[in-house]
Chain A
């Protein structure tokens, strides 16, 4: 993407969320969440377990139906969309990277087949081209091309996570949802993954919503940060500002509770 395109694309939000609420009976999943996400922007969502961040993410991605609120993607109303259209969106323009890659990879299908699936789902019918694209993407996530016919069950956890990312990004989505993408990985693998994600955001102009409880991860990855507690957004702003000058009591507690290395 050139600088000019970059700037013109920045003029409208990619995703607009307004008053999103999801209840589980009397319990609140998330309540009255509103924000805009712009092209090329990474939004971090932090909060303790049960704070509603994963619920929010799955409502945004259309995996769950919220009770109230609006979600607009470009000029389309995501919640009013037919399921066909939403699922088409979720395998072309959108991607979802889950915490546990084993649940979302096809473990009986080769790495190349895993990466190629989305291409075939949108009509790719040329084996040679699909394989070429898959090889290219395995390279981008630093998986050697001679592993293309191996099954993910033969991969380490970090490789599986990188494979999941390649599988999701192969159709050049514009919006990526990530749920604890670095959770469960050892720290050296985590660093490599962070660098990879930053490079992809920068080079492809991706917009990302990343849910995590790791403040170090969001500091390095997210432009903006949203802090959630009991299903509500208690604070949002520039990532470093929220972390260095937190305004809400909960955020102050969260930031001061992090162990220093």
Chain B
């Protein structure tokens, strides 16, 4: 039920129009960080205020919203945001990737392939990929303007010099359509290949940093690397212990004080879907109650 005290999706219409303009500009210039007048939201920074504002600007009453945090639909953050929009916009919600029209995500891309009628909204803590090496905003803007991206490779060089390989495992920088270097938000680098050629619209919102950027459908996104140290979309070398999937991103779960551990899909909806379809992992038969 829509709470009548709020405008549709919490934000007032003028604010949503302002955000939509930023989104359209972002879509027109893929990977470019568009400044926008980020509003105070009724949740702390770091909880996805940027993503929430982008979602609010995108939602229409017919939408079906899914919210995931680290792949899971049932964590505090995901539940709070889903409830927030259920209350302020009255939209339907779902945990199923293939049923959702708008998906707000923190730190993951769903395993289930997205479709052209979906929008994926990322929560972004630090949108500037050059920030850790160049603290001056004036200078990083100039570097984007002039495509001076040598510094990104310095970061990767330092990784290899120190660890013998590119140790960056999340928020792995990408180049969009051969132009802007972009921070894909802290998704694991396993998800990077899914950014490229994606049929859905991908929108990125950074509330505290007041930036919105976007990837229109079918955009080419390339992960930066060296010729002799190519990019690898790595994951734990295991199958999911619940659904047996061998190609999904896994969370490691410690199950007792003796260090016993299990690996499970980080995408809870994907894992449940596979089990419904009859797939079984190593530990599934022994604990069927986990299906509840």
Contacts and interface: CB of A to CB of B under 8 A. Distances in A.
B252 interface: no
Contacts of B228: 126-128
Residue from B133, B149, B153 having most chain A Cβ neighbours under 10 A: B153
Given A87-B148, A106-B133, A149-B161, A116 B154 contact: yes
Contacts of B218: none
A109 B133 contact: yes
A113 B157 contact: yes
Interface string A121-142: 1101111101100000000000
Interface string B152-176: 0110011011100000000000000
Residue from A83, A113, A117 having most chain B Cβ neighbours under 10 A: A113
B146 A116 contact: no
Given A127-B226, A127-B229, A128-B228, A83 B146 contact: yes
A40 interface: no
Given A83-B146, A127-B160, A113 B154 contact: yes
Contacts of A130: 157
Contacts of B154: 106, 109, 113, 116-117, 120
Contacts of B229: 127
A125 B148 contact: no
B150 interface: yes
Contacts of A124: 153
A118 to B, nearest CB: 7
Contacts of A120: 150-151, 153-154, 157
B36 to A, nearest CB: 26
A110 interface: yes
Contacts of B151: 117, 120-121
B227 interface: yes
Contacts of B149: 121
Nearest to B149: A121
Given A109-B154, A126-B228, A121 B148 contact: yes
Nearest to B147: A84
A112 interface: yes
A126 B225 CA distance: 9
Contacts of B160: 127
Contacts, number: 58
Contacts of A87: 146, 148
A169 B162 CA distance: 24
Interface in A148-181: 148-149
B161 A117 contact: no
Given A126-B227, A127-B228, A149-B162, A112 B157 contact: yes
A109 B149 CA distance: 16
Residue from B161, B225, B226 having most chain A Cβ neighbours under 10 A: B161
Contacts of B153: 120, 124-125
A119 B153 CA distance: 10
Interface in B192-226: 225-226
Contacts of B226: 125-127
B161 A110 contact: yes
A118 B255 CA distance: 49
Contacts of B225: 125
Contacts of B150: 91, 117-122
Contacts of A131: 161
A223 B156 CA distance: 42
B158 to A, nearest CB: 5
A83 B157 CA distance: 27
B227 A112 contact: no
Contacts of B133: 106, 108-109
Contacts of A91: 148, 150
A148 B157 CA distance: 12
A137 to B, nearest CB: 15
B227 A113 contact: no
A227 B228 CA distance: 51
A120 B156 CA distance: 11
Interface string A97-118: 0000000001011101100111
Nearest to A116: B157
A117 B161 CA distance: 14
B179 to A, nearest CB: 14
Contacts of B227: 125-127
A245 B149 CA distance: 50
A30 B149 CA distance: 34
15 contacts: A83-B146, A87-B146, A106-B133, A106-B154, A109-B158, A113-B161, A116-B154, A117-B150, A120-B151, A121-B148, A121-B150, A124-B153, A125-B153, A125-B227, A148-B161
Given A130-B157, A148-B161, 16 more contacts: A109-B133, A109-B158, A110-B158, A110-B161, A110-B162, A113-B161, A117-B150, A117-B154, A120-B153, A120-B154, A121-B148, A122-B150, A125-B226, A125-B227, A127-B157, A127-B229
Q: Which 5 pairs show the lowest CB-CB distances between chains A and B?
A: A121-B150, A120-B153, A120-B150, A127-B226, A126-B227
